Amino acid sequence: MIQKLIENIKKTKAPIVVGLDPMLSYIPEQIQKSAFAEYGETLEGAAEAVWQYNKRIVDAVYDLIPAVKPQIAMYEQFGLPGLAAFKKTVDYCKEKDLVVIGDVKRGDIGSTSAAYAAAHLGRVAVGSQMLTPFGEDFATVNPYLGTDGIKPFLDVCREEKKGIFILVKTSNPSSGEFQDRRIADPAADALPQTSGDSRRNEAGGKPLYEIVGEKVAEWATSCMGDTYSYVGAVVGATYPEMGKVLRRVMPKSFILVPGYGAQGGKAKDLVHYFNEDGLGAIVNSSRGIIAAYKQEKYASYGAEHFAEASRAAVVDMIGDINHALEQRSECD
Amino acid sequence: MIQKLIENIKKTKAPIVVGLDPMLSYIPEQIQKSAFAEYGETLEGAAEAVWQYNKRIVDAVYDLIPAVKPQIAMYEQFGLPGLAAFKKTVDYCKEKDLVVIGDVKRGDIGSTSAAYAAAHLGRVAVGSQMLTPFGEDFATVNPYLGTDGIKPFLDVCREEKKGIFILVKTSNPSSGEFQDRRIADPAADALPQTSGDSRRNEAGGKPLYEIVGEKVAEWATSCMGDTYSYVGAVVGATYPEMGKVLRRVMPKSFILVPGYGAQGGKAKDLVHYFNEDGLGAIVNSSRGIIAAYKQEKYASYGAEHFAEASRAAVVDMIGDINHALEQRSECD
């Protein structure tokens, strides 16, 4: 699936992903009204509104983009009907030939992690049948539990040619609370110093995100596609200096980059998340695309034409990132 | 809900929780056959088998125990029908007056974490309605993203009187890969040294799990019930020395203890997870209870009487843990 992601990126010339993270407050009143008219103010009604909203956006942008990233929490909050809308969205995006990254941030151990991997990337045995529960192409995974939590995902990735993005350095303000802590133990000192900078000596150790990044690089090597690994990483757009280091630490991993736009990440800061082949990163925008019509810049579309506003925002985002990438190559 | 958990523990004299983590391979053939006869070898068929199995076990043990802990991955692997069986199990256990700990290990940031908190512990606004998506009493939460990921859960805990257990030190063999890394940065040195031991000097810093434990203690203080906090922690039975330290670091938090039995944790090692009031910990067993009939010890029950085997295993587990606790008080 990493090959398919790369093909889609080359075809669209758009190293971006649209985050399908619908909040009811984003959804134009007309869509909500008509869903509630059919299903009442129920979880089913909310899920129907979410699905109609997603469908309109996907229809408006699918030819421009390589991938979407539905955030499952936004569906899970509407219970079973919400998760049915998640599944419908995954299926619909796959019909449209988009790569689907399930932003599920799952992570557990042993047979439990294996169950999550089957749920989102693999198949599950029921009697003599092998069935597909949710069927995303990629999933995001939390590394806090260590290799025991990751290995079952690697097994499924190899078997099904699917992929994962492991949280390394997240985009949020408090991500440093644990992720930036400097590691002092001998095991860390014994690791090769891949980043090539002097920060270890300055503050007595590599930060945890770098240790996690090194583990990602190790897992990535064990799970290679043709040029990139099935194992990628999440590194927030809001920490470009760390992104630069982590790019070198994990050369074979695609980096999924949240935090562009609404969270403050700028295109010029993101060029170092890419490798010299122009690949290796995929930048996510959620609210900035799906709720574009609420921004002053796209307000003229109005709520009625929200999907066209999303399309315009996608075009602008692709232009913004490609412009920054071109400027980098000119400077090189 | 922490009050209710404490009341249930006092009433049953059983500081234990039964993990409802059904694998198809645990479920007696007869139950699978009859579910497949009705629904075919489908996700619906698997979900029906899971539900029938759970119901029989809950019916057999509910009067002996304070709480259950369904592991959502085991349901998620059967897609939407699986998650419907999860919801049915949660509802049924609540009817039986059990406290339900959703072992969901969710964790994200900002509005996304808020959506997970609403999904599992809270309510969600749909038009003028406030609806309950899954409605567990507690949820397990992953701390890797820092305070941004935890705060939305704290808000819901306060509002709905629900609770969370934050992963601090997990029970799996590779949990030390990141969780045991020793932290060297100045911020860590500035923290109060709560553990009172000399390990920091020995190896140049506190381990990450202790730093996370200190954060849990801080969050716990901001979210208190009468005697214990709504904010608990997960500390594996397989690391008793660390459990001893973490008990002191997080005095107001209940510790949810996985890893007893099948994973190797022994009752005598667990006494230090409890406070002197005899409370403060709740020990989980999953496979050891729900698949008891597969153990030599309970084999005489046979697959047909699997639920009675589970009841016998619960009685034995309660005896085992209470015996260890009594021995501790005698030594004191």
Smallest Cβ–Cβ distance between A83 and the set B80, B147, B182 belongs to B80
pLDDT for B183 equals 92
Q: Which of residues 101-160 of A touch B (CB under 8 A)?
A: 105-113, 115-116, 118-120, 124-129, 131-134, 142-149
Q: What are A138's strand-pairing partners? A: A101, A163
pLDDT for A315 equals 98
Write down the mean pLDDT value for chain B: 93
- List chain B residues with CB under 8 Å of A77: 115-116, 118-119, 124, 133
For the entire predicted model, the pTM comes to 0.95
Nearest-10 Cα torsion for A26, A31, A137, A237: -10
pLDDT for B332 equals 59
To 5 degrees, how large is the angle CA A172–CA A175–CA A177? 145
Tens digit of pLDDT for each residue in B197-219?
A: 444 444 568 999 999 999 999 99
Listed as ranges, residues in chain A with pLDDT below 70 are 185-204, 331-332
A151 touches A111 (CB < 8 A):
no
Amino acid code (one letter) for A276: E
**Which residue, chain included where needed, has tokens 């760390």?**
A242
Known catalytic residue at A105:
yes
Report the complex ipTM: 0.94
Tens digit of pLDDT for each residue in B320-330?
A: 999 999 988 77
Contact B36 A172 (CB under 8 A): no
A131 touches A124 (CB < 8 A):
yes
Tens digit of pLDDT for each residue in A53-79?
A: 999 999 999 999 999 999 999 999 999
Q: What are B163's strand-pairing partners? A: B138
pLDDT for A26 equals 97
Interface contact A77, partner B, CB < 8 A: yes
Residue A318: phi, psi to the nearest 5?
A: -60, -45
Structure tokens at A115: 């169950």
pLDDT for A205 equals 86
Listed as ranges, residues in chain B with pLDDT below 70 are 185-204, 331-332
pLDDT for A201 equals 40
Interface contact B224, partner A, CB < 8 A: no
pLDDT for A195 equals 46
Structure tokens at A153: 């995902």
Smallest Cβ–Cβ distance between A108 and the set B32, B73, B182 belongs to B73
* Burial category of B284 from C-beta neighbours within 10 Å (exposed 0-12, middle 13-18, buried 19 and up): buried
pLDDT for B195 equals 47
Q: What are A139's strand-pairing partners? A: A102, A164
The alpha-carbon gap from A310 to the nearest alpha carbon of chain B, in Å, equals 21
- List chain A residues with CB under 8 Å of B84: 80
